[in-house]
Chain A
Amino acid sequence: MRFVSLAVAALVTIGLIFLFNTRQVLPAPLGRLLSPQHGIWQNAEPADQSFSEELKFASLKGKVEVYIDEKLVPHVFAENDEDLYFVQGFLHAKFRLWQMEFQTHAAAGRLSEILGEGPGGRILEYDRNMRRLGMVYAAERSLNEMEKTPASKLIYDAYAEGVNAYISQLTESQLPIEYKLLGYYPEKWTPFKTALFLKYMSFDLAGREDDLEFTNARDNFSKSDFEKLFYYLADSLKPIVPNTPESPYPAMASIDLNPPLTADSLYFSYKKGDSLTYADTNKPNRENGSNNWAVAGSRTKSGRPILCNDPHLGLNLPSLWFEMQLSTPEFSSYGASFPGSPNIIIGFNENIAWGVTNAGRDVKDYFDIEFQDEQKTAYKYNGQWMPTEKRVEILKVKGQPDRLDTVVYTNYGPVMFDDAFRAKERDTRHLSVRWKAHDPSNEGLTFYGLNRAKGYEDYLAAIKHFTCPGQNFVFASRTGDIAIWQQGQFPAKWKRQGDFIMPGIDSSFEWKGMIAQEENPHQLNPARGYVSSANQLSADGSYPYYTGNVFPVYRGYMINRMLDSAGPVGPEEMMKMQCDNYNIRAELSRDILMSTKDSLLDDASRKYFEIYRKWDNRNDVGSEGATVYHLWWGALEKAVWEDEYDKIGLPLPWPTENVLVESLHRDSAYSFLDNVNTPGVETLEQLLASSLRTATDSLEKLSAAGKLSWEKAKDTHINHLLRVIEPFSRLHLPVGGGKGIINATGPDHGPSWRMVVHMTDGIEAYGIYPGGQSGNPGSRYYDNFVDDWAAGKYNQLWLMKKEEKGDARVKWTMTFANTK
């Protein structure tokens, strides 16, 4: 009997430990997670936590002092570069380790390894997409390139060593909470992971194209319909760099830009009825973009330039950005850094400031490949069978056996689509990707140079290393220069080259070369007293090279209009301008909507028409007119185009934001107005009324739910990177703005860092990002900038001098020294 009770008690004990230590029975190992000495409680940071520490590491050459201010921004003072980047790596890891690793797992297509295959296999599909695109291949090539430059190798190695110094002294209890919740451990950091992270940014900023969709559009629309929907130059385009005598475009291309002789038959073959069914759900957000501008001293109150930048990216917690200052006796630079990469990415030093917006040029094209046979060991190229290379991608999936995926490489790049990853349901297409991000490059040199730049020449020398993702680098100096360069290595294309899938059996459709760097659009100290960019086309039609098809126009239009008419400005006006909610398309389309015939409306729609009529075209918090306009215009676009699109029934690109306004202004009897499914011919008058009635249904629902005001209808939120953990996210933020507006805050996307730098002696700068310095959801510094960011407030950015270490803003001090 005693044995039986003992056995029962022992079994229950072991059973309970098993129950609370594994995920076999309960979804979470509650014992491990809730143990106050090991689990999540250890991540609950005391509100009065001290960040002061004295640390010793064998690999440090000298002493490094880190002064941490009240915002938890570290100001790092090192004696040399090696120590500086060691400490930057250490600090990134200390505050953002989980995110750093998660992002590189995302880049490398390794998310299934920690998250499983996901609902409907979505995460595995995402991973395969990244592998087949050659993300790992691209990172390997850029790592090789980077290691050829000893200075770069030293930095990346020191940075990795700093990250690892942090990881190796981590105990289980100090693990970031996400590791505990998901049940895995951090790997060692390597320079390869930094390369992966930078490639992830290339993917995010230069990895989006709609070439497959445009191919469908070409195959199913007539040429004239295609040109109506996807014309190349917007009427409201204000190019980043206008063609003026002070900054003329190259008169002609220095590379032969004649399309191949076969282009008419093989490429511009409209309406032949072919179809690709693949719809890529893993594309980077179309709205990834940014604003930047610099105002010359001639237009400012102080006589010194002011530089402004706000990159628009997916909004997440922990934030993509980490604010810090890096200093050695040679330089001192402050700004937003990427956890995962050395250097300051957007910021300033005591002499210059710089910022970036995305160039958005299409540097990713597809080529149709003809293989010799099923083995895919050779493909046809210029009349010969060329050998292929194969890469076997091993995909680890949590809780499942490994998957193997063979990716074939041609001289174009990886064959992303084949019979194992289909672009088409019925027969197989072999599509090889030619992507600029696959070419070896060392972008880190640009940031290294900018951090230390003293003037325009240094800036120019630094940005020349930047090849992909193409960016508009804005610049201002204390000595009064302002400039902008669209920088990157861009293929010299003939008009519409690469917009569609190209024949790959010979070299005739290949990129013929890269545009020479000095031919990139640029401006230095223009007479108008400012430079600006907001992802619009960099140049107008007189630029000899084709620069691509899908670009937003309205933010650039509005920025230039405001700067054209601005009086002498100071930082306050610039901060206000970055948060401006004026909807320029609403202004440009007002005459169209106002022509709605009252007699065609019912009582409910009449009420909303009245709200719209009184609206001031501003997407401010509290505005109901903005919601009416947004839904009405959306319904009108659908009423105009959806009938044609549904009839084709394939993934197709939707026309850009400016197309309907401009088309209706050009021609009020726009041919797409007719609904192809009805016997009659619809007119604009009918569509205006019917689309308002459609919008009214949604508006009534919003109104009943108390969500008619714009910020509630838009519902901006900042999700935790894992997307599924709501309590770690910030939801329902009261923020105005939106697409096509300078304050480009969408539902989950927008200004991820706002910065205004006044180039006074000592630098007067302001900035904020929607997050907090700590990546720990249990820290009060996790999201403490969010409310101020939402309210359009800024923090002063302090370019600290070492002598100021006694300043009241310094709350904690970390020292790093050699073990000796």
Chain B
Amino acid sequence: MKLFISIVLTAFLGFALCLFLPWWAIAIAAFTVAVAIVQAPWKSFVTGFVALFLLWAVMAWWISFTNNNLLADKVSVMILKQQSAFMLVLVTGLIGGLVAGFAALTGSLVRKL
């Protein structure tokens, strides 16, 4: 339950902060939630990773879906050297997940001090 609430909170806070702050505010969101809600460090990492992976991947997927993958098809060729909107969505989720995961881990370790 804690895990689930943390994931939802992280995703929500990450989304909200990014309305006003640069993209790396997702790290602040994940860190803050991990400090506020005590979990084992590995669980905090999972929280941050899953929250932002889902948030970013779902948002990217939805945007791309309404765009008929027009832009993702082009940008994926540029960045990934292959035409695949799916892969670009995946990479987007992974980047968000990694940054938030480590930020949450850091938060959890701070709490442990």
Contacts and interface: CB of A to CB of B under 8 A. Distances in A.
Nearest to B19: A37
Residue of A16, A21, A35 ringed by the most chain B CB atoms within 10 A: A35
Nearest to A777: B74
Interface in A38-71: 38-48
A725 B78 contact: yes
A516 to B, nearest CB: 54
B18 interface: yes
Nearest to A29: B23
Contacts of A28: 79
A31 interface: yes
A758 to B, nearest CB: 36
B105 A44 contact: no
Interface string B67-104: 11011111101110001000010011001101100110
Contact of A36 (B41, B56, B75, B106): B56
B1 interface: no
Contacts of B98: 16
B60 interface: yes
Contacts of B64: 41, 44
Contacts of A34: 56, 60, 88, 91-92, 95-96
B36 interface: no
Nearest to B83: A727
Nearest to B75: A40
Given A21-B24, A780-B70, A41 B63 contact: yes
B15 interface: yes
A6 B26 CA distance: 19
Interface in A559-603: none
Interface in A4-39: 5-6, 9-10, 12-13, 16-17, 20-21, 28, 30-39
Given A20-B99, A31-B99, A37 B59 contact: yes
Contacts of A780: 68, 70
B65 to A, nearest CB: 9
A31 B71 contact: no
Interface in B46-73: 55-56, 59-60, 63-64, 66-68, 70-73
A402 interface: no
Nearest to A42: B63
A31 B23 CA distance: 7
A13 B106 contact: yes
B78 A727 contact: yes
A412 B56 CA distance: 61
Given A10-B106, A46-B66, A37 B23 contact: yes
B15 A37 contact: yes
B92 A41 contact: yes
B22 A45 contact: no
B5 interface: no
B112 interface: yes
B40 interface: no
A726 interface: yes
Contacts of A725: 78
Contact of A2 (B19, B88, B95, B112): B112
A539 B22 CA distance: 62
A727 B74 contact: yes
Interface in A526-582: none
Contacts of B59: 36-37, 41
A6 B109 contact: yes
A248 interface: no
A303 interface: no
A12 B45 CA distance: 12
Interface residues of A, number: 42
A726 B68 contact: no
Interface in A615-641: none
A116 interface: no
A284 interface: no
B70 A44 contact: yes
Nearest to A38: B23
A135 B19 CA distance: 42
B27 interface: yes
Contacts of A10: 106, 109
Given A31-B24, A727-B78, A16 B105 contact: no
Nearest to A3: B113
A778 to B, nearest CB: 3
Interface in B4-44: 15, 18-19, 22-24, 26-27, 31, 41
B73 to A, nearest CB: 8
Residue of A36, A39, A47, A48 ringed by the most chain B CB atoms within 10 A: A36
Contacts of B78: 725, 727
A728 interface: yes
Given A13-B106, A38-B23, A44 B77 contact: no
A777 B67 CA distance: 11
Nearest to B79: A28
B95 A38 contact: no
Contacts of A45: 67, 70-71
Nearest to A47: B68
B24 A777 contact: no
Contact of B95 (A6, A30, A37, A43): A30
A395 B15 CA distance: 41
Contacts of B41: 5, 9
A778 B64 CA distance: 10
Contact of B22 (A38, A48, A726): A38
A21 B59 CA distance: 20
Contacts of A41: 59-60, 63-64, 71-72, 92
Given A6-B109, A32-B22, A38-B23, A44 B67 contact: yes
Contacts of A726: 77
A251 B26 CA distance: 79
A50 to B, nearest CB: 12
A755 B60 CA distance: 40
A47 B67 contact: yes
A266 B42 CA distance: 87
A12 B99 CA distance: 9
Given A727-B78, A777-B74, A35 B96 contact: yes
A28 B79 CA distance: 8
Contacts of A727: 73-75, 77-78, 83
Given A36-B59, A37-B59, A41-B59, A17 B67 contact: no
Contacts of B79: 28, 30, 33
A780 B73 CA distance: 13
A34 B102 CA distance: 18
A317 to B, nearest CB: 11
Contact of B110 (A6, A21, A43, A44): A6
Residue of B99, B110, B113 ringed by the most chain A CB atoms within 10 A: B99
A46 B74 contact: no
Interface string A722-762: 00011110000000000000000000000000000000000
A44 B95 contact: no
Contacts of A48: 66
B44 to A, nearest CB: 10
Contact of B99 (A16, A39, A42): A16
Contacts of B23: 21, 31-32, 35, 37-39
Interface of B: 15, 18-19, 22-24, 26-27, 31, 41, 55-56, 59-60, 63-64, 66-68, 70-75, 77-79, 83, 88, 91-92, 95-96, 98-99, 102-103, 105-106, 109-110, 112-113
Given A12-B102, A33-B79, A726-B77, 10 more contacts: A6-B106, A16-B98, A32-B22, A38-B18, A38-B23, A44-B66, A46-B66, A47-B67, A777-B71, A779-B70
Closest 8 CB pairs of A and B: A778-B71, A35-B23, A36-B59, A727-B74, A44-B67, A46-B66, A44-B71, A6-B109
13 contacts: A3-B113, A5-B109, A6-B106, A32-B22, A34-B92, A35-B56, A36-B55, A36-B60, A38-B22, A44-B67, A727-B83, A777-B71, A780-B68
Interface of A: 2-3, 5-6, 9-10, 12-13, 16-17, 20-21, 28, 30-48, 172, 177, 725-728, 777-780
